[in-house]
Amino acid sequence: MDLSKYAGLFLAESREHLSGCNQLLLMWEREPANRDAVGGLFRSIHTIKGMGATMGFTGVAELAHRLESLLDAIRQERVTVESGTFQLLFRAVDALGEAVEEAAAGRERAPDPALVAALDRATGQAGATPAGPAPPPRRRATDTPRARSVQVIIRADAVMRGARAVLAVRRAESLGRVGAVRPPLVQLEREEFDGRLAFRIESAATEDELAAAIRTAGEIEAVRFEEPAPVDGTAGGRRQIRVDLNRLDRLMKQVGELVVARSRLGVLAGQSDDPALAELSDRMSRLVSGIQTEVIAARMTPVGDVFERFPRLVRDLSRDLGKRIRFDVEGEEIELDRSILDEIGDPLLHLIRNAADHGIESPEVRERAGKPPEGRILLAAARERNSVVLRVSDDGRGIDRAAVLARARRDDPARGEAEALSDDALLRVIARPGFSTAQAVSGVSGRGVGVDVAMTRVRQLGGTLEIRSDLGKGTTFLIRVPLTLAIVRALLADAGGERYALPLAYVAETVEFDPRAVTALRSREALVVREQVIPTVHLRDLVASRERPAPSRRPTVILEVGERRTALVVDALVGQQDIVVAPFDAPRGMPPYVGGATILADGAPALVLDAAALR
Amino acid sequence: MSHTVLVCDDAIFMRTMISDILAQAGFEVVGEAESGAQAVEKYRSLKPDLVTMDIVMPDMGGIEAVREICKDDPEAKILMCSAMGQQALVVEAIQAGAKDFVVKPFQPSRVLEAVQRVLG
Amino acid sequence: MADSPTLHAVIFRIGALNCAAPAGIVREILPRLDATRIPGVGQAVEGLVNVRGTLLTVLDGHVLLQQPRREEDEGAIIVVEVGGRRYGLGVGQVVDFLEVPAHAVAERAELPGIDPRLVKAVGIRDGAHFIVLDIDALVAPIIGS
């Protein structure tokens, strides 16, 4: 049988399991007495072993087997968990991850003999332990029903194996809710059933209890449990399939073009007198909106998918740096477009490394400063209008503005004796490539590369990066990204006869420009809007429009990026439109406030303004 | 105290054979029925610990009898006795509430295993 | 064709200059299109045009070669591919598509009115000179990193 076509699936599922293993190990390590994680670890490794063996990846299977044996010994309390055990388990899970990747890439090799020996030694503790009275098997908390996948194998010599399988299902039903029975009942009634039955059960019973009940159906060869396949666990049990992301990307691109074509059709229909055309255009418009919503929804992925790799990172960093760091995550369920999510991992990585390396102090320093010895890094996601805010905060030493300023002056002697740095100015300085204030340049976040890399990536996504820092108290980085890149609702503004698109995600409101409300804020023109002083930007001046004099009545768009507001004065507002931000090769010297370009409903290109850069 | 059994089959040969197998194993056969209707009636009066039930019987089949009995007593322990090729009917009987089944021709050991399972 | 090398080229006019671009880098020739100006990038960039749903950055050949625009020119955009990226070059008039024997083309020569660094070669056609433009050199100062 040709197994190569299963390699992708093997890799994807193994990665999922391994990532889960890392999570479980971290959880367990935090509370070594709580063994809840062991069962999950065991099952995941067991699954990888089975898949690896099926694929013929003997190296993977062997390593998984050794690891599984150790976990089994721990599970049955034949082996005691010591501090070194976690180190070994982490090492083995890492090695298994590598083995999986290598095997899938066609470079199978035997596992590291040193690691295998270490695993065997750890497992072998069992033999040395005197066979005292067996400890009572640990029962997991049984109060809440858990979903599990069950595999039942009916003995080959049994008669009417299908009916036997039905009995097994009935027995299982006495302990919980059973679903997804495979093969389905109608096939069980026929003779072609091969004796392998699978179903899902939601039950509060332990696996041992379930297995015992199922075995009373008779003629059962084996009962196996697996963590349920990643079927959505929410009520109603929605069915899911895996879709190749590239396919989704292509679909999205086509929908983007459909959206543009729809707008164009709308314009044409508006110019025509044909009511049938207008009606068809309306109908098309609604249909396209529906498709657009669905496709975007299909691309939304919880940020937890990216977050899950960081606990391990912080753990390793804190060990390498000799620091104590607690890492907390919030808002893992917040969803983002997959294409943004794929890009956001790197910036987050840099910021988290920075926080661990430069932010959190050593335990001694912290204690001297009257702080708890254990530092804290928080990674949090939250939804804010049409954008998502990702926050990386630490309770570390904060950024020493005086030192940053001194360093900046040394780099750039022309720099004036500027007053204290505002947060914005601070960010501009530390986000310069290669800037660092680190006393000793540690290998961790290098020469401050973190912030400038993060800044560049976030800007490429149409997002913004902000910083807040209090000396001695900590630093917070805020990344703000749009929910989805592909299609953006935008306000179209005219300046000197040219049209510019403003993503609605950053538009707080529009007001009429009132010259009487003009004031000054730190020697800049500003506008008083509802008793708030907002600095103004005149779009005509900004884009150096040479056309026509400005009209007397000018709408003003209040842009809001985080807490910062800007009043953008334009000549006219010419409507709203769904735009697809299209790529183009930007000429040198393109101003930072140009965030991209798009094609409008009438077919003309228009520039998309970057709200964050309009200030 | 040994378990009491009600044996239901329209063929005397089968009833005899089943009764013999069970009696030798120490069960007490307290009654026999040759139709589904009789089975239901005798179950109510005898309250046996176990029922063996043929599927195909005149005057109310075995499956219908299972349904009737389980309506009164959902915990009734009924062992279906089926011939080869009746898998669909066995499945139906299980859905109706039968707790296990054996397939003719009977092997005494399998019958006893099934009985043990049903009685738990 | 080592024994009789030929140059395939698109011949066009920018102001008073007869120019050629090697056919190998020309992807398409478009009629004049209204471009959306990009602020802040200088006169040499005409702006963005929509080519069947794709955005194309168009450079202004007249500005690049410091040639006056001629009233009678229809205008055209020559789409070239440089370093894997496509750019439009706005020209006055597309004249011809030529196949010239390589010996009719001389390596770089000094010509009046044009920066020699932009000249890849000079050829003669119907008794008049034409300049084979070094498109890479032409767009290099304009295009982003």
Look at A594 and C38 and tell me if their CB atoms are within 8 Å. Answer: yes
The alpha carbon of residue A125 and the mean position of all alpha carbons in its chain are separated, in whole angstroms, by 40
- Least Cα separation, residue A445 to chain C (angstroms): 26
Tell me the two tokens of residue B20. Answer: 């013999």
Q: Say if residues A517 and A528 touch (Cβ distance below 8 Å).
A: yes
Amino acid identity at A532: Q
List of chain A residues whose C-beta atoms are within 8 Å of the C-beta of residue B90: 160, 163
pLDDT band at residue A442 using 50, 70 and 90 as cut-offs: very low
Q: What does the pLDDT read at residue A485? A: 65
List of chain C residues whose C-beta atoms are within 8 Å of the C-beta of residue A257: 53
Nearest to B91 among A166, A217, A218 (CB): A166
Q: What does the pLDDT read at residue A539? A: 92
Q: What does the pLDDT read at residue C91? A: 94
Are chains A and C touching, using the cut-off of 8 Å on CB pairs and a minimum of 3 such pairs? yes
The CA-based angle A208-A214-A219, given to 5 degrees, is 120
Tell me which residue has tokens 């009520």.
A235
Q: Is the pLDDT of residue A8 over 70?
A: yes
Q: Is the pLDDT of residue C119 over 60?
A: yes
Which of A408-422, A431-445, B86-100 has the least mean pLDDT? A431-445
Q: Which chains would you list as touching C if contact means 3+ CB atom pairs under 8 Å?
A: A
| Dist. CA C98–CA A178, nearest whole Å | 76
Q: Which of residues 89-108 of C touch A (CB under 8 A)?
A: none
Q: Say if residues B20 and B65 touch (Cβ distance below 8 Å).
A: no
Length of chain A, in residues: 615
Task: Tell me which of A201 and C127 has the higher pLDDT.
Answer: A201
Look at A217 and B100 and tell me if their CB atoms are within 8 Å. Answer: yes
Pick left, alpha or beta for residue A119 (phi over 0 → left; psi -120 to 50 → alpha; otherwise beta). alpha
Residues contacting residue C47 through CB under 8 Å, at least 6 positions apart: A605, C35, C36, C37, C38, C57, C58
Q: What does the pLDDT read at residue A547? A: 65
pLDDT in tens, A271-308: 888 888 888 888 888 888 778 778 877 888 888 888 88
Q: Say if residues C95 and C13 touch (Cβ distance below 8 Å).
A: yes
- Least Cα separation, residue B86 to chain A (angstroms): 9
Interval C32-60 mean pLDDT: 90
| Dist. CA A482–CA A479, nearest whole Å | 10
Pick left, alpha or beta for residue A523 (phi over 0 → left; psi -120 to 50 → alpha; otherwise beta). left
Q: Which of residues 66-95 of B touch A (CB under 8 A)?
A: 82, 84, 87-88, 90-91, 94-95
List of chain B residues whose C-beta atoms are within 8 Å of the C-beta of residue A217: 100, 117
Nearest chain A residue to B113 by CA: give it: A218
Interval A539-552 mean pLDDT: 78
Share of chain A above pLDDT 90, in %: 13
Nearest to B87 among A160, A170, A216 (CB): A160
HSE-CB at C110 with a 13 A cutoff on CA atoms is 0
Q: What does the pLDDT read at residue A141? A: 39
Tell me which residue has tokens 């026929």.
A190
Residue C14's closest CA among C145, C136, C135?
C135
pLDDT band at residue A532 using 50, 70 and 90 as cut-offs: confident
Tell me the two tokens of residue A453. Answer: 């890399």
Q: Is the pLDDT of residue A143 over 60?
A: no
Task: Report how far apart the first and last C-alpha atoms of chain A are (Å, whole number).
Answer: 63
Going from the N-terminus, what domains does chain A have, and what CATH number goes with each? 4-123 (1.20.120.160), 146-226 (3.30.70.1110), 247-302 (1.10.287), 304-482 (3.30.565.10), 487-613 (2.40.50.180)
pLDDT band at residue A414 using 50, 70 and 90 as cut-offs: low
- Least Cα separation, residue A159 to chain B (angstroms): 7
B117 touches chain A (CB under 8 A): yes
pLDDT band at residue A472 using 50, 70 and 90 as cut-offs: confident
| Dist. CA A98–CA A88, nearest whole Å | 15
Look at A587 and C41 and tell me if their CB atoms are within 8 Å. Answer: yes
Q: Is the pLDDT of residue C132 over 80?
A: yes
List of chain B residues whose C-beta atoms are within 8 Å of the C-beta of residue A218: 100, 113-114, 117
Q: What does the pLDDT read at residue A107? A: 80
Interval B48-64 mean pLDDT: 88
- Least Cα separation, residue A279 to chain B (angstroms): 55
Q: Which of residues 43-62 of C touch A (CB under 8 A)?
A: 45, 47-50, 53-57
Q: What does the pLDDT read at residue A44? A: 82
Which of C27, C33, C36, C143 should one mutate to test binding to chain A, selecting the residue with the greatest count of A CBs within 10 A?
Answer: C36
Task: Tell me which of A79 and C14 has the higher pLDDT.
Answer: C14
Nearest to B88 among A159, A170, A189 (CB): A189
Q: Say if residues A284 and A265 touch (Cβ distance below 8 Å).
A: yes
pLDDT band at residue A133 using 50, 70 and 90 as cut-offs: very low
Q: Is the pLDDT of residue A79 over 70?
A: yes
Interval A518-540 mean pLDDT: 85
Look at A588 and C145 and tell me if their CB atoms are within 8 Å. Answer: yes
Task: Tell me which of A135 and A251 has the higher pLDDT.
Answer: A251
Share of chain A above pLDDT 70, in %: 84
Q: What does the pLDDT read at residue B28? A: 93
Which of A250-259, A386-395, A499-508 has the least mean pLDDT? A250-259
Nearest to A605 among C36, C141, C145 (CB): C36
Tell me which residue has tokens 């036997």.
A164
- Least Cα separation, residue A327 to chain B (angstroms): 51
Look at C50 and A585 and tell me if their CB atoms are within 8 Å. Answer: no
| Dist. CA A451–CA A1, nearest whole Å | 50
CATH 2.40.50.180 is right for the domain spanning C6-143: yes
| Dist. CA A463–CA A282, nearest whole Å | 33
Q: Which chains would you list as touching A if contact means 3+ CB atom pairs under 8 Å?
A: B, C
Task: Report how far apart the first and last C-alpha atoms of chain B are (Å, whole number).
Answer: 16
The CA-based angle B11-B13-B16, given to 5 degrees, is 110
| Dist. CA A453–CA A585, nearest whole Å | 21
pLDDT in tens, C66-85: 899 998 888 999 999 887 78
- Least Cα separation, residue A138 to chain B (angstroms): 25
Which of A267-276, A448-457, B79-88 has the least mean pLDDT? A448-457
Task: Tell me which of A225 and A539 has the higher pLDDT.
Answer: A539
C38 touches chain A (CB under 8 A): yes
The answer, as to whether pTM is greater than 0.80, is no
pLDDT band at residue B49 using 50, 70 and 90 as cut-offs: very high
Residue B84's closest CA among B56, B119, B112, B116?
B56
Nearest to A163 among B90, B113, B117 (CB): B90
**Mean pLDDT computed over every residue of chain A:** 80
Interval C94-116 mean pLDDT: 73
Residues contacting residue C106 through CB under 8 Å, at least 6 positions apart: C121, C122, C123
pLDDT in tens, A191-216: 667 788 888 888 888 888 899 899 88
Nearest to B87 among A189, A217, A218 (CB): A189
List of chain B residues whose C-beta atoms are within 8 Å of the C-beta of residue A163: 87, 90-91, 94, 101
Domain spans of chain C?
6-143
* Helix, strand, coil share (%) of chain C residues, nearest 5: 10, 50, 35
Nearest chain A residue to C54 by CA: give it: A582
Which of A154, A157, A167, A181 should one mutate to test binding to chain B, selecting the residue with the greatest count of B CBs within 10 A?
Answer: A167
| Dist. CA A357–CA A355, nearest whole Å | 6
- Least Cα separation, residue C81 to chain A (angstroms): 12
Are chains C and B touching, using the cut-off of 8 Å on CB pairs and a minimum of 3 such pairs? no
